[in-house]
Amino acid sequence: MSLAREEEGNPMASGTVGFVGLGNMGGRMARRLVAAGFTVVGHDPATGRAEAAGAEPAADPAEVARRAEVILLSLPDSHVVEPVVRALLPAAEPGATVIDLSTASPASTTALHAEAEAVGVRYLDAGISGGAAAADKGTLTIMAGGDGAVLAELAWVFEPIAAHVHHMGDPGAGHTAKLLNNFLNAVSLAASAEVMVAGHRAGLDLPQLLDVLNSSSGVNFATLNRFPRIVQGDYLEGGLTSRLMTKDVALYLDLVGRLGVPSLNAAGPLASFGLAENLGYGDQISNRVVDAIGDLAGGVRVSESNNPTRKG
């Protein structure tokens, strides 16, 4: 830990942070922590990811827990989070903290909170939003569930990666908020992709169409932040894939089902991102859903430059 951090009075900021899951988002966040002066001990099953993120590699999650009192997770879903947490908890010191930055099932998350508490380990579910660009800049939004005092105590670990940190409530509340956000993200992206393909087929000037949408009632995050780049050939690679977007919508459906809330709008994004996955775009950024819809429309590409088409 740097002297500056010691002088700021952060007794928990030992200078070493653990990180499990160093893919598209985890790797970017780990690099931000390294750049801020922290030693990051990282584990990822993919060879070389720890080193690429500037982290000291660890053989497994248990080694991460032995070497760091604060362990961040950035994993695909609860099916991966659960075994990772259960592998690291026995190695963690009482008083250590696990911060789960994944998009996960709130029911699973609540159970993991209880398992961690039983062995004296603190747990925060801390969903993130903002995509790869925000991760690179350290301007993510974090929505956290768990003990608010623990969240405040660990402000130093969020500072390099997030511009906004919100305490949403009890265990599971952070991941609940993340699923609600991601569902709206999925709806707006899928619907905007369809509109852009239709606009292209209708012969409209797409940058002008975006100007109209962004000053009209159809404006949304995708029209404001994604499609102005996509029509220029920049798909903003590195963010959430179509396969993971489909997973997130399925988790949303499970959540609202448990809450007794009908979902009348999930069919659209499930169909759109499911189509993208079936056409070979599953492991590419979810923005490529516009190409999947374009395929069904006769090979339409809304991009104005030559870009790789689908693989597979």
Residues 245, 169: Cα–Cα separation, whole Å: 25
Q: What is the pLDDT of residues 47-95, one digit of tens each?
A: 999 999 999 999 999 999 999 999 999 999 999 999 999 999 999 999 9
Confidence tier at 238 by pLDDT (50, 70, 90): confident
Domain limit, last residue, from 116, 135, 169: 169
127 CB-side CA count, 13 A:
25
**How many Cβ atoms are within 10 Å of 128's Cβ, its own excluded?**
23
Q: What is the pLDDT of residue 295?
A: 97
Structure tokens at 310: 């689908």
In a domain, 150, yes or no: yes
Burial class of residue 287, CB neighbours in 10 A (0-12, 13-18, 19+): buried
Torsion (CA) 258, 262, 268, 271 in degrees, nearest 10: 40
pLDDT at 148 over 50: yes
Structure tokens at 139: 């301007």
Q: What is the pTM of this model?
A: 0.90
3-state secondary structure of 270: helix
Q: What are the phi and psi torsion angles at 271 (to 5°)?
A: -65, -40
Residues 270, 256: Cα–Cα separation, whole Å: 15
Same domain, 185 and 127: no
Q: What is the pLDDT of residue 306?
A: 39
Same domain, 50 and 161: yes
Number of folded domains that form the chain: 2
Same domain, 105 and 22: yes
In a domain, 30, yes or no: yes
Confidence tier at 2 by pLDDT (50, 70, 90): very low
Residues 18, 56: Cα–Cα separation, whole Å: 9
Q: What are the phi and psi torsion angles at 222 (to 5°)?
A: -70, -40
How far is residue 276 from each of residues 189, 288, 290, 292, 302, measured CA to CA in Å? 13, 7, 9, 5, 16
Edge-to-edge strands of the sheet including 122-129?
56-57, 39-43, 16-20, 70-73, 97-100, 122-129, 140-145, 162-169
Confidence tier at 14 by pLDDT (50, 70, 90): low
Same domain, 36 and 123: yes
CATH label of the domain that carries residue 23: 3.40.50.720
Same domain, 111 and 28: yes
How far is residue 199 from each of residues 89, 134, 232, 294, 300, measured CA to CA in Å? 52, 29, 15, 11, 11
* DSSP alpha helix (H) spans, 104-147: 106-118, 131-137
How confident is the model over 119-134, as a mean pLDDT? 95
CATH label of the domain that carries residue 209: 1.10.1040.10
Same domain, 182 and 164: no
In a domain, 312, yes or no: no
Q: Which domain holds residue 108?
A: 3-169
Q: What is the pLDDT of residue 6?
A: 39
In a domain, 145, yes or no: yes
Same domain, 110 and 234: no
Domain limit, last residue, from 169, 187, 212: 169
Nearest to 206 by CA among 289, 286, 300, 292: 300
Same domain, 45 and 89: yes
Please, are residues 266 and 184 in contact by the beta-carbon 8 Å criterion?
A: no
Q: What is the pLDDT of residue 201?
A: 96
Residue 311 falls in the annotated catalytic set: no
In a domain, 38, yes or no: yes
Same domain, 138 and 284: no
Same domain, 27 and 159: yes
pLDDT at 219 over 60: yes
In a domain, 87, yes or no: yes
Q: What is the pLDDT of residues 180-218, one digit of tens each?
A: 999 999 999 999 999 999 999 999 999 999 999 999 999
Q: What is the pLDDT of residues 277-294, one digit of tens each?
A: 999 999 999 999 999 999
> Which region among 81-85, 124-128, 277-281, 307-311 has the lowest average model confidence (pLDDT)?
307-311
Same domain, 207 and 104: no
Same domain, 139 and 181: no
pLDDT at 171 over 50: yes
**How many Cβ atoms are within 10 Å of 51's Cβ, its own excluded?**
13
Structure tokens at 33: 């922590």
pLDDT at 1 over 70: no
Burial class of residue 48, CB neighbours in 10 A (0-12, 13-18, 19+): exposed
In a domain, 114, yes or no: yes
Residues 34, 15: Cα–Cα separation, whole Å: 10
Domain limit, last residue, from 169, 198, 231: 169
How confident is the model over 220-228, as a mean pLDDT? 97
In a domain, 305, yes or no: no
